[in-house]
Structure 1
Amino acid sequence: RRKIARWRAAGLSATVIAEKLGRHRSTIFRELKRNAFEDPQMPDLSGYYCVTANEMARERRAKLRKLARFVHVRQAVIERIMHGWSPQQIAGRMRLERHPICVSYETIYKFAYSADGQAIKLWRHLPERRARRRPRHARRRHGRRFSPELNILHRPDTVAERKQFGHWECDLI
């Protein structure tokens, strides 16, 4: 945001700023539009300032943290986690009951692994019981697809010679 503000004050276009930062130009346009300072009484002061932009983004983000804002929802989520419900079950039940304030299972996981959730050790009641969450792409185990015994180099001689029906490729067509 400091670089954007500095380059904007220097008169660079959003497209050039995007190229310098290695971002898409729409990202920079969105940043400039959402976090620009507007002063109706003194229009000369209106513009993009990095400190103001950061505060506006922080306020917007704080508004979205439903489990931090709504105590009754947070208590209901904590209670259900303590009773052995998974975050997917909690989120699904809230949606099914048409709860006025619904949260996604990802929000529940983020809360469980946040400082507040760590303080009451919510991770002990989650399905995997891990103190720290694994990275997103490390969740799937990628083992060997085929065992070493099934390697094509270890095929029998009758198959390798291809003299018998059924050992040729495309025999089933």
Structure 2
Amino acid sequence: MSLCYSQLTLPDRRRLFHLRERKVPVSEIAHQLGRHRSTIYRELKRNTFQDHDFPEYSGYYSGIANDMSKERRRRLRKLRRHPHLRDLVIDRLKARWSPEQIAGRLLADGVSPVRICPETIYRFIYCKEDYPLGLYQHLPEHRARRRPRHARRRHGQRFSPELNILRRPDVVADRKQFGHWECDPIQFRKKFGKANVTSSSNGHDC
């Protein structure tokens, strides 16, 4: 069984339907699908079709279950339930903010009572309903298709331990020599073909 959880797919639900038709126990179904039995119980509870007018037609059907799951996930998307937050995210994406910057700034400023993570924004950008907005064009890499999860590798250590800021000499803290001041160069959006660059430090200009 995989340690990384993933949603049941339509082929999984088709196998589940056929196994249920054969009266296979839930524990055996979970074993054949490579899932925990609680996943199967939850799937049957949430996505079983109920016909109150014709109870004999009620039951678990793979196609209907898949549609019910998609509709529920579409309704529960945060950026669909909160239009103001959705517009704010779109504006900042068009201003060349990354999803990580947007999520972090919203959390730090407390602008929205709803908390979102970068993954929520990425899914919003690449979801089927909002993909025509072309928001992927404002991302740093401008990818029209999102890379598979296994291809998103984290970068290793970028700096050697010898360059760790904790190992700098004590004399640097006095800032008596030129070059010991800390700078934070920020490059904003380009205007008229040139970049406006602002440098700031602890009361000093670099």
With the shorter chain as reference, the TM-score category is: 0.5 to 0.7
Specify every segment of 5 or more residues in structure 2 that has no aligned partner in the other structure, as ranges: 1-12, 158-206
What per-residue deviation string (whole Å, max 9, x for no partner) do you get for residues 117-139 of structure 1?
Answer: 65444334323444443333433
Larger Rg: 1
Structure 1 residues 77 and 98: alpha-carbon distance in aligned structure 2, compared to 1, 3 A threshold:
closer
> Quick one: which of 112, 116, 120 aligns to 2:125?
112
Distance 1:40 1:117 in 2: 35
Shift of 1:77: 0.8
Query: Equivalent residues in 2 for 1:58-137 (5 A)?
Result: 58-96=70-108, 97=110, 99-114=112-127, 119-137=132-150
Alpha-carbon RMSD across the aligned residues, in angstroms, is 3.0
Letter in 2 for 1:127: P
Distance 1:59 1:6 in 2: 23
The alignment's TM-score, normalised by the length of structure 2, stands at 0.56
Structure 1 residues 52 and 130: alpha-carbon distance in aligned structure 2, compared to 1, 3 A threshold:
closer
The total of aligned residue pairs comes to 144
Contact 2:85–2:112 (Cα < 8 Å) also in 1: no
Distance 1:77 1:126 in 2: 12
> Quick one: which of 30, 34, 42 aligns to 2:42?
30
Letter in 2 for 1:78: I
Structure with greater strand percent? 2
Specify every segment of 5 or more residues in structure 1 that has no aligned partner in the other structure, as ranges: 144-173
Structure 1 residues 65 and 48: alpha-carbon distance in aligned structure 2, compared to 1, 3 A threshold:
same
Match of 1:140 in 2: 154
Structure 1 residues 142 and 19: alpha-carbon distance in aligned structure 2, compared to 1, 3 A threshold:
same
- Aligned-residue identity in percent: 51
